[in-house]
Amino acid sequence: MTIARRGFLVAAGTLASGLPAPFAVAETAPLLERPIPSTGETVPAIGLGTAGGGYESAGSDEALAPLRETIRTFAAGGGRVIDTASTYGDAERAIGRITSELAPAPPMFLATKVDAAGRASGNEQIEQSFHDLRTSRIDLIAVHNLRDTATQLATLRELKRAGRIRYVGVTTSYESQHAALAELMRRETLDFVQIDFALDNRDAAERILPLAQERGMAVMINLPLGRGRLFRAVRGKPLPDWAAAFDCHSWAQFFLKYILSFTVVTCAIPGMSKPEHVTDNLAAARGRLPDEATRRRMETYIDGV
Ligand SMILES: NC(=O)c1ccc[n+]([C@@H]2O[C@H](COP(=O)([O-])OP(=O)(O)OC[C@H]3O[C@@H](n4cnc5c(N)ncnc54)[C@H](OP(=O)(O)O)[C@@H]3O)[C@@H](O)[C@H]2O)c1
């Protein structure tokens, strides 16, 4: 670790925080990175989601403060991918402000979404994203929930040719849209797809992940914790002792390591608005992952609670 990086970690409160041993040990191991098939560029396998958790209503300095700590902890821990959307209230403005304050500026991978009908309205929204994120280049813009896909994809491809964005994608978080997404994936060339997938919501593993592998598309996973549903399912239950065999020390790591065990998954983007959640979740991208037999055991476990 360089002195500058160590200084940044201390500034972000992660070395000085007296974290429990599993986190402290895990923090010294490298973060798993996965390649984006269309370029081979790698990104860390755990990103930061910003729907809810206070990002959408982060208009005041007071509301911004815990999110600043969260993003600083994320960057200090080696996190780079931040997922947001033009429709997430104040989120893009909050991210733009916080990331522009980070010093030294860490290399971030900013992903946002266009959610509009019609070319003019899509363009207007995208220009607002550049302004609010305080950047001249956005890494990934995806069409949100397949809305007006043909029109918005045409615009995004023009932006990519112009060098203003680097990757183009589409997203959904509704099982009812999985068939339409699959059809689109067969027809279109896309850098990224973003889809809902969790230990208790496994449709994507049947329909979308194999197709992404076949079509060479990067996969970002939204709702990896089922918006908290998975934590409610295991409330009061101890982590199975066999979880230690894949370096898993918390329920969040159990849920996220399950997702990362699918090698086609490029990154999962849990929503996080607390520094301790960042530290916990980044550790899912460190150490061993469950093998296929263990993955089945995890599915049986969650189906039984
Ligand atoms: N169609 C789309 O494109 C689409 C749709 C939905 C979501 N998304 C993206 O996907 C991201 C993830 O989805 P989501 O945020 O709705 O749901 P999620 O990631 O499944 O769950 C987020 C919830 O889990 C909590 N959490 C996170 N880490 C935790 C930990 N280690 N221990 C205990 N609780 C923890 C968060 O709490 P705190 O906030 O308190 O940390 C938050 O309440 C979104 O933020 C968004 O960026 C995209």
Give the confidence band of 17 by pLDDT, cuts at 50, 70, 90: very low
Cα 163 to middle of ligand 1, angstroms = 30
- The CA-based diameter of the chain, rounded to the nearest angstrom, is 55
**Residue 271 has what DSSP assignment?**
B
| Ligand 1 residue neighbourhood (C-beta within 6 Å) | 49-53, 83, 113, 144-145, 171-173, 194, 222-228, 231, 252, 269-274, 277, 280-281
Provide the 10 A C-beta neighbour count for residue 104: 10
Mutation to probe ligand 1, out of 223, 232, 278, 282 (largest number of atoms < 8 A from CB): 223
* Residue 291 lies in domain: 3-304
The stretch 63-90 carries a mean pLDDT of 97
Number of domains in the chain: 1
Q: DSSP H helical segments within the chain, as ranges?
A: 3-11, 21-28, 61-76, 91-101, 119-133, 149-161, 178-187, 203-207, 209-215, 229-233, 251-260, 275-282, 292-304
For the chain, the average pLDDT equals 92
Q: What is the pLDDT of residues 177-192, one digit of tens each?
A: 999 999 999 999 999 9
CATH of the domain at 13: 3.20.20.100
Provide the 10 A C-beta neighbour count for residue 299: 15
In the chain, % of residues over pLDDT 70: 91
Which pTM was predicted?
Answer: 0.93
The stretch 227-235 carries a mean pLDDT of 97
Give the integer Cα–Cα distance in Å for 115 and 135: 19
Cα 51 to middle of ligand 1, angstroms = 7
If you search the block for the tokens 């194999």, which residue do you land on?
210
